[in-house]
A = this chain, B = another copy of it.
Amino acid sequence: MDITTVAKLAGVSRATVSRYLNDGYVSDEKRRAIARVIKETGYIPSRQAKILRTGKTNLIGVIIPKINSASVSRMVAGLSSVFNESQYQMLLANTDNRENKEIDYLRIFTEKDRVDGIILVGTILTPEHERALKNLRIPLIVLGQAFDGFSCVYHDDYHAVREITSHILNRGTKPAYIGVTELDIAAGQSRHTGFLDACAEKNLEVPKKAQMESDFSVDAAYLACERLLDVYPEVDTIVCASDSIAFGAITCLREFGRSVPEDVQVTGVGDSDLSKVITPSLTTIHHHYKTSGMEAAKMLIGAMDKEDTIVRDIRMGYELLLRNSTR
C-alpha cells in the first residue's frame, strides 16, 4: 500500500493525497474519498520516505553518562514524558562515563540527519566538547551542567550546598568535604565551592586534608571517609557531594564507632529514594531532576520548531531536606 495506489483508488493525484495527509488545500469531496480509501486499505504512510524527502527524522538523540544512576534516570523520565507527548522518539546513547564516547555519539547523531535535536546530559565538558558543539548544525540542550554559549538546564548546586553547609555549621566546627573531580563543574566544582564559601562565611578554615576526592560509588566514598578519619580525626561534620557518597561515609563512620549525627553530622545531595529510609535518614538536597528533564525537552522542541537559536539558560531551584543525619 503506497500513496500512489491510494491516489488511484480515490481518483485523485498523489499530490492531493499528500496534501490531505499534511495540510494543504483539499476539497471536502476529495477529502471524503481519500479518507474512505485509507480506511478501507489500512494505508499507513512510509515514515522513511517522508524522512528522506523532508530531512526531518522526529528523532531526538539523548546522550547520558550512565543510565543506572538515580539522577540520570529521573532526568530521562522527564525527557521521555515530554517527548512522548509530542511526536518525538528518543534515541538513547549511554557513554558509561567515557567522555570521548560523548563526542563520538555527537558525531553519529549529527551525521546525515539522523536526529533533529540533541540532549546532552553532561558531566565533564572539555574544550573538545565545545568545539564539537560549536560545529553542530542542529539544536542542542545541555542538561545538568551550565555551559556558556549553549542553551542549558541545570541545578543550582552552588547555592544548594552553600545553604546546606551554612545550616549544619550551626552545630559543627570541624567540617570536612568528600566530593568528586573538579572537572565536573556542577557536581564537582560548584558543590565544593559552595561548601568552602559557607565555611569562609563562618570564618572556618578548612584544611586541605579535610577535603577528599572520591567518585559517586558507595565503595569509593567509604574509602575516602576512612582516609579522612585517619588524617583528620577531629572532624564533626561531613558534607558530601552526593547521597551515594554520604551512604559510604555513614557506613564507614558506623564501622569506626562514630555515631551519626551525635559525633559526626553528614549531608548528601540528590534526595535519592533511600535517603529517607536509611538510619539515620539523610539530610540532603532535593534537586528537581525530572522537572529539569521536562524543561530541557520543552526547550529543545521550541528550538526545533521555531528554528530559534537564542541561547537560554534555566537554573532550577532546590529544596533543603533536614533529616536525622544532622543535629
The interface of chain A, by Cβ under 8 A from chain B, is 44-49, 51-52, 57, 59, 62, 66-70, 73-74, 76-77, 80-81, 84, 89-94, 96, 111-114, 218, 244, 247-248, 250-251, 254, 272-274, 276-279, 290
Contact = CB atoms under 8 A, between A and B. Distances in A.
A94 B89 contact: no
A114 to B, nearest CB: 6
B57 A67 contact: no
B73 A111 contact: no
Contact of A112 (B47, B52, B66, B274): B47
A120 B221 CA distance: 35
Contact of A93 (B52, B57, B84, B96): B84
B250 A112 contact: no
A273 B254 contact: no
Nearest to A113: B48
A84 B46 CA distance: 26
Q: How many copies does the complex hold?
A: 2
6 contacts: A46-B112, A47-B111, A48-B112, A81-B94, A89-B91, A277-B278
Given A62-B92, A68-B74, A278-B278, 16 more contacts: A44-B112, A46-B52, A46-B112, A48-B52, A48-B113, A52-B52, A67-B73, A67-B80, A80-B92, A80-B93, A81-B96, A90-B91, A90-B92, A244-B273, A251-B277, A274-B277
Contacts of A73: 67-69, 73
Contacts of A59: 91
Contacts of A277: 218, 247-248, 250-251, 274, 278
Nearest to A55: B48
Contacts of A254: 279
A69 B74 CA distance: 9
A67 to B, nearest CB: 5
Contacts of A90: 91-92
A74 B67 CA distance: 8
A304 B59 CA distance: 22
A272 B73 CA distance: 15
Given A218-B277, A274-B278, A279-B254, A94 B80 contact: yes
A319 B84 CA distance: 37
A324 to B, nearest CB: 12
A229 to B, nearest CB: 18
B57 A68 contact: no
Contact of A273 (B45, B62, B218): B218
Nearest to A94: B80
A51 B50 CA distance: 12
A259 to B, nearest CB: 12
